[in-house]
Structure 1
Amino acid sequence: MKVLYTNAAASVEEWITNAEASLDSSARKIVGLDVEYDKLSGTYFNPKKAVGPAIQPPDGPSWGRPAASSLVEDSPKEEDITSSPLKWYTFAGFCVAEDRTILSRSKYYVHNVKDIQAIWRDPDNRKRTQGLKDVAGAIIDPIYFEMKDGFGRAEHRMWADPPPLPPKHLEYAARDAYATYEVFRRLDVFERGFFSLFKHPEKKRGRDW
C-alpha cells in the first residue's frame, strides 16, 4: 500500500495532477473518500475538524492530509478536486453525512457523493447496523472483517494530535479509503451488469466449450 501523507502544497498538487490523469483515462471516474477525525470529542465552541481527507483513485496511491492547522499549506488544486461540480467524479464513502459536515469546516465541499451504507448491505449479516468492515468483508474478501481490529478508543483520540500521525493511523485511513473505492467499484459493475442484462437479454445457446 502506497500512501502520501504531506502538508506541502506542491506535493499535494503533483499527486492530484497524477490522480486526474488516472481518472481521465478511466471510463468510470470513481474515487474512494474517507475522513478521519476525533469521533470522541468536539463541542459547539471547539467543533471536530477533519484530519484528512484520505482519497483513493484507481491505480494510484492513497493520499492523506494532516489536520487543518497553521502547518498546512493551502492548495488550490486540492480544493478543486473536492469542490468543483464540473469534475464528474463519483466520490464513494461510507456513512458520509458527518464526514461532509466536518469537511465543510475546512472549506471542502464534496459533490456527487455516494454513501455505500445507503446503497447496499450484506443480506446474510444480521447486524442491524453494518459497518464498512462488514460490507468490505462480504464483497472484497473475508480478511476485511478484521480491518478495524486493534484500533480502539485510544487510537481514535490521537487523530486530533499534532502531526505527524503514527504509521498505524496512516494505514488505517488508507485502508478505509481503498475499501470504499473497491466496494463501490464492484457494486457499480454489478449494477451495470444487471441493467445491461435487463436491456439486452442473453439469447439461449448451447454450451460454449
Structure 2
Amino acid sequence: MEEIGVEAGKRALIQVLGKYLPKVLMGAEEGVLKRSAAGNLDSPKISTDSSAVGKSGVDSVTGASANSSVPTSNRLTQLQINKENGAAFEKSVFQDVQMQMPDAVQQVTVKTKSGVNTRIDIIGTSPSGQVVCLECKGSASAPLTPNQTVGFPEIKKTGAVVVGNGKPGFPGGTVIPPTDVQIVRPGQKPTIGP
C-alpha cells in the first residue's frame, strides 16, 4: 500500500466527504474546502445573491433548488414536524387499543414470504384471538413506504414472520397469519374484531 502525505490524505478525504455531505455542512463550493494563502481552510460565506446558483439551478452552498419556494431549513423543519406528529398519533392509537388488546406492542419488524422486510406500528391479539396489525399515518395524505406498499398486500395474502428479537408476546420467529394491515389515519378508529 502506497503511503501518501498528510496533506494529500486530507484533500482526498475532503473530496470524498464533499460527495456525500450536504454542501452547507462542508461549508464548501463544489464540495471541496478552499485553502487560503496562509494555509487555513476557508469556507465561502453564504450570500443571498443569485450568483451562487449554478447551471443546474441548485445553490452551490446550500444545495437548495433555485425554483424552490420553501427554504431548505423550512423543509427540514417540516419533516421533523411530520415525524413528531406521526409518532404522537401512533402513541394515541396505541393507548386507545391497549384496552381491547392488552398484549399490543409497537414497532415490530416482519418479513414476508417473498423476503420484503417492513415494520408494523402496532400488533396485538383481538379478544377473539385474531392477530391485528395497524399502521398509523399521522395525516390524511401520509404515504406508505415502498416496502409497506409491497409488503402489506402480501401479509394479507400469505402472512409474515417476526424478525429480529421481536417484542413481548411476538418474539422473533412468530408466524403472523394472513392478516389485513389496517391503515389508521386521524379521525379513524381501527377495527379490533368481534
Q: Which has the bigger relative contact order, CA under 8 A and spacing at least 6? A: 1
TM-score (norm 1): 0.24
Structure with greater helix share of residues? 1
Q: Give the alignment's TM-score, normalised by structure 2.
A: 0.25
Higher share in strand: 2
Please identify the structure whose Cα radius of gyration is greater.
2
